[in-house]
Structure 1
Amino acid sequence: MSKSLAALIGGVAGAITLVGIIVLFVWFCLFYNRSITRNSETSSSDPSLRGLNVGTELSRRGGAPLSPNQREARHFVLEELSVATKNFSDVNLIGVGKFGEVYKGLLHDGMIVAIKKRPAAPSQEFIKEVCYLSSIRHRHVVSLLGYCQENGQQMLVYEYIPNGSVSSHIYGASQLSGEKLEFKHRLSIALGAAKGLAHLHVLNPPLVHKEFTTENVLVDENFIAKVADAGLRNLLSRIDTAGPSSQMVAHDIFLDPEVRGFGRFSEKSDVYSFGVFLLELVSGREAAGSQFSESDQRVVDWVQNYRDTSDIAVIIDRRLSTGFTIEGMKEFIQLAVRCVNPSSERRPFMNYVVAELDRILEKEMSLTTVMGEGTPIVTLGSHLFTALR
């Protein structure tokens, strides 16, 4: 009887084990199928993107994989962009850049965008780079929204920044009134641009702009500065087999001397370009111009020989004759001097530049705050120009 009971128990245990194995097998199959379904739902319907795992691509770059809702740039169809720009009408043409013509467009959902268009064959590398760049989101960086590749055209769709380039406001055709050109406004623009550039540098791996110029700093309706064309040179170099052209290199005056000599870009080469940008902000003139001194020195040449702070009035924009402190202006120019040091090792990192600009702006705001009907507490800047009048 005991033997029969033992056999019965053994049989029951075996049956339970078998059932458990079957349950585990069924559960595994169902889980696997659900996993495949989830992956198919997050993949793109765009044939050109099939087989592209952007998370894997970014991991190979050294960055963390993106969340599922960030893994793909928006794929626009040509018809939608054609309608948005009235068939790429000249009326909607707002400029020509390194990528090609730039159009202002109104999407069917009411969003206003800037569309960059150029003739080019479809490219998987183009899509990969766009997916990476469109994942970058920061208040002070112009967002890349998506792309289009149709009919022998490649297009980049960006958020539209209504007030255009800083260069047009400080020395271009659309210069602003004296009120918008106050030193505090320029400091605020510089700080915003510095934050945008610093954000690119702290990405993993760091994204070096390589094309930072005053023209690539845009301002929105509230005059919040945003860095444009981040990574554009990388995108062009990845899809242009002919190699770098003169259109792919920033204006020579913004280019780090070490880049010209050795061809190696780095975060410090962006710092040099940013220093030139600061000098254009403070002078109100193009850095390549020859109107900075009686000896016709370019502004960067003048700064390289900069020693005596009593001479800073030579390059300061005459429209800044009031509304700033001498100390604040000196500190601003000294920061620019450090940024354009010929030796990259002696230049600061962008995080330091951000901290310094923030400090200078806070001090200027506290010392030149308007009280009542436009009466400033301090307008020491006018003293700089007394001897020149």
Structure 2
Amino acid sequence: MGICWSIQIKAESAFSTGDDSKIAERNGNSNSSSKVSSGSQSHTPRSEGEILQSSNLKSFTFSELKNATRNFRPDSVLGEGGFGSVFKGWVDEHSLAASKPGTGIVIAVKRLNQEGFQGHKEWLAEINYLGQLRHPNLVRLIGYCLEDDHRLLAYEFMPKGSMENHLFRRGSYFQPLSWRLRMKVALGAAKGLAFLHNAETMVIYRDFKTSNILLDSNFNAKLSDFGLARDGPTGDKSHVSTRVMGTYGYAAPEYLSTGHLTAKSDVYSFGVVLLEILSGKKAIDKNRPTGEHNLVEWAKPCLTNKRRIFRVLDPRLEGQYSLGRALKVASLALQCLSMEPKIRPNMDEVVSTLQDLQDTDKRDRRDPPVHRGVAAGGGASSAKKASSCRQEAGPVVAYPRPSASLRV
């Protein structure tokens, strides 16, 4: 499975900065931002021509991408979303000319559906950001096609598909990800966000979720789909004022209520995804029992309790981690999910915490301690009454099915 997009409702130009301003909480350089090739954008909104001319991308003809995908054959479809269909194609590694299937390099070609929810602005936003930004944890945009009514984008192919598939799909193809791989993906995705937040002009991703985390053959995480991305605040202000856009279950509460967008909005979304990674449950799932539909509301009371934490943790991870590490990751998720944005860590701090956990895990695998922490797995007893998280703690304030879209 390659690149997979879920349906979005997007209606705002991602490259217009408007009244963006600088965030007071911003902290220096990220340890994941060493691969910057240039700044993000100037503070003056750029024209379409300026964006296309300044991008470091190949301009494909429609015929070239048609040939690369074997005329957009149905059996080449990798996924479908609001933008349109994504096709598997092949191009020469050096010239990027269409090549025979199985030769050259594999690419994923996203073709705009004129009847879809997304459109030209989102297509241009992808070029605006991914045409300039380079980082190991951002998916690589290779080129684009602008010809008559055709709007296409060509990306590197991501063989392991989306994190959403690996967490929520069931079947022989998608085996449950191990604790080690889940933490690797979480760290990689965190580095991608930290890089964006520390770019010369801050970029707020605004659509962080498991379906937008793509995995290469070694399960390295890369952020994709920049259609909702925005330049962060500049000057002496604290936020960017925008229309509320995104996906139900992931958007920060203060952004939903005010339309004020900051880097801490992305941090909240990261907390939701980290909770999904820990639990193997979707952020919003109406098929779960009453009281458990919203993962964040249900799980929060359990995250700092040594016994109740097992009700949240994915039972498929049983025995793969120590209780101490599970509690540290859960505590990090809880910090990211704070209702007060200023209390949330920045992404540099998130990266540092996850990196320390990974380094400790590597040392322990190399030199196992004599006494390990309690192995995880809450077993059947912990899964029996999952809904009791709330009861005991009191009240708290296509491929997989596409996530519900948000437009307020």
Asked whether the two chains share a fold, i.e. TM above 0.5, the reply is: yes
Are the counterparts in 2 of residues 217 and 228 from structure 1 also a CA contact under 8 Å?
A: yes
1:232 is matched with 227
> Are 1:146 and 2:130 matched, yes or no?
no
> Are 1:97 and 2:93 matched, yes or no?
no
In structure 1, how many angstroms separate the alpha carbons of the residues matched to 2:310 and 2:222?
A: 29
Q: Report the Cα offset of residue 115 of structure 1.
A: 1.2
Q: Report the Cα offset of residue 132 of structure 1.
A: 4.3
Q: 1:327 aligns with which of 324, 345, 370?
A: 324
* 1:31-42 paired onto structure 2 within 5 Å: none
Show CA shifts across 1:197-250 (max 9, x none). Answer: 111111121111111100111111011111111x32249xxxxxxxx99xx943
Q: Which moved more, 1:84-93 or 1:294-303?
A: 294-303
Are the counterparts in 2 of residues 322 and 379 from structure 1 also a CA contact under 8 Å?
A: no
Show CA shifts across 1:46-92 (max 9, x none). Answer: xxxxxxxxx99944469xxxxxx975421111010000111111111
Q: Which moved more, 1:119-128 or 1:352-361?
A: 119-128
> Are 1:259 and 2:255 matched, yes or no?
yes
In structure 2, how many angstroms separate the alpha carbons of the residues matched to 1:252 and 1:136?
A: 27
Q: Report the Cα offset of residue 126 of structure 1.
A: 6.0
Are the counterparts in 1 of residues 108 and 157 from structure 2 also a CA contact under 8 Å?
A: yes
1:188 is matched with 184
Are the counterparts in 1 of residues 144 and 153 from structure 2 also a CA contact under 8 Å?
A: yes
> Are 1:177 and 2:172 matched, yes or no?
no
In structure 1, how many angstroms separate the alpha carbons of the residues matched to 2:293 and 2:131?
A: 41
* Runs of at least 5 residues in structure 2 that lack an aligned partner in the other structure: 1-37, 46-52, 94-103, 231-241, 384-408
> Are 1:213 and 2:200 matched, yes or no?
no
* 1:277-356 paired onto structure 2 within 5 Å: 277-289=273-285, 295-296=291-292, 298-306=294-302, 308-356=305-353
Are the counterparts in 2 of residues 141 and 226 from structure 1 also a CA contact under 8 Å?
A: yes
- Equivalenced residue count is 315
> Are 1:111 and 2:102 matched, yes or no?
no
Compared with structure 1, are the counterparts of its residues 370 and 164 closer, same or farther at alpha carbon in structure 2 (3 Å cutoff)?
A: farther
**Greater share of helix residues, 1 or 2?**
1
2:200 is matched with 204
Compared with structure 1, are the counterparts of its residues 104 and 383 closer, same or farther at alpha carbon in structure 2 (3 Å cutoff)?
A: closer
CA RMSD of aligned residues (A): 3.5
In structure 2, how many angstroms separate the alpha carbons of the residues matched to 1:292 and 1:319?
A: 18
In structure 1, how many angstroms separate the alpha carbons of the residues matched to 2:380 and 2:121?
A: 61
1:223 is matched with 219
Which AA in structure 2 matches 1:385?
G
Which AA in structure 2 matches 1:186?
R
- For residue 72 of structure 2, give the secondary structure of its aligned residue in structure 1: coil
Compared with structure 1, are the counterparts of its residues 266 and 256 closer, same or farther at alpha carbon in structure 2 (3 Å cutoff)?
A: same
In structure 2, how many angstroms separate the alpha carbons of the residues matched to 1:56 and 1:331?
A: 34
Which AA in structure 1 matches 2:343?
R
Which AA in structure 2 matches 1:348?
P
TM-score (ref. length: structure 2): 0.68
- For residue 296 of structure 1, give the secondary structure of its aligned residue in structure 2: coil
* 1:350-369 paired onto structure 2 within 5 Å: 350-368=347-365
Q: Report the Cα offset of residue 265 of structure 1.
A: 2.1
> Are 1:73 and 2:73 matched, yes or no?
no
Are the counterparts in 2 of residues 367 and 377 from structure 1 also a CA contact under 8 Å?
A: no
- For residue 260 of structure 2, give the secondary structure of its aligned residue in structure 1: coil
Are the counterparts in 1 of residues 250 and 269 from structure 2 also a CA contact under 8 Å?
A: yes
> Are 1:137 and 2:134 matched, yes or no?
yes
Question: Whose RCO is larger (CA < 8 A, sep 6+)?
Answer: 2
Compared with structure 1, are the counterparts of its residues 190 and 128 closer, same or farther at alpha carbon in structure 2 (3 Å cutoff)?
A: closer
Compared with structure 1, are the counterparts of its residues 92 and 315 closer, same or farther at alpha carbon in structure 2 (3 Å cutoff)?
A: same
Q: Which has the larger radius of gyration?
A: 1
Q: Report the Cα offset of residue 164 of structure 1.
A: 0.2
- For residue 86 of structure 2, give the secondary structure of its aligned residue in structure 1: strand
Which AA in structure 2 matches 1:163?
K
Q: 1:388 aligns with which of 382, 385, 389?
A: 382
Q: Report the Cα offset of residue 107 of structure 1.
A: 1.6
Q: Report the Cα offset of residue 364 of structure 1.
A: 2.5
* 1:41-52 paired onto structure 2 within 5 Å: none
In structure 2, how many angstroms separate the alpha carbons of the residues matched to 1:255 and 1:158?
A: 26
In structure 2, how many angstroms separate the alpha carbons of the residues matched to 1:330 and 1:368?
A: 19
In structure 2, how many angstroms separate the alpha carbons of the residues matched to 1:323 and 1:368?
A: 12
In structure 2, how many angstroms separate the alpha carbons of the residues matched to 1:287 and 1:124?
A: 28
2:155 is matched with 158
Q: Report the Cα offset of residue 159 of structure 1.
A: 1.1
- For residue 197 of structure 1, give the secondary structure of its aligned residue in structure 2: helix
Show CA shifts across 1:294-352 (max 9, x none). Answer: 84352200244345342101111111110211000000001001111122111110000
1:276 is matched with 272
* Runs of at least 5 residues in structure 1 that lack an aligned partner in the other structure: 1-54, 63-68, 236-243
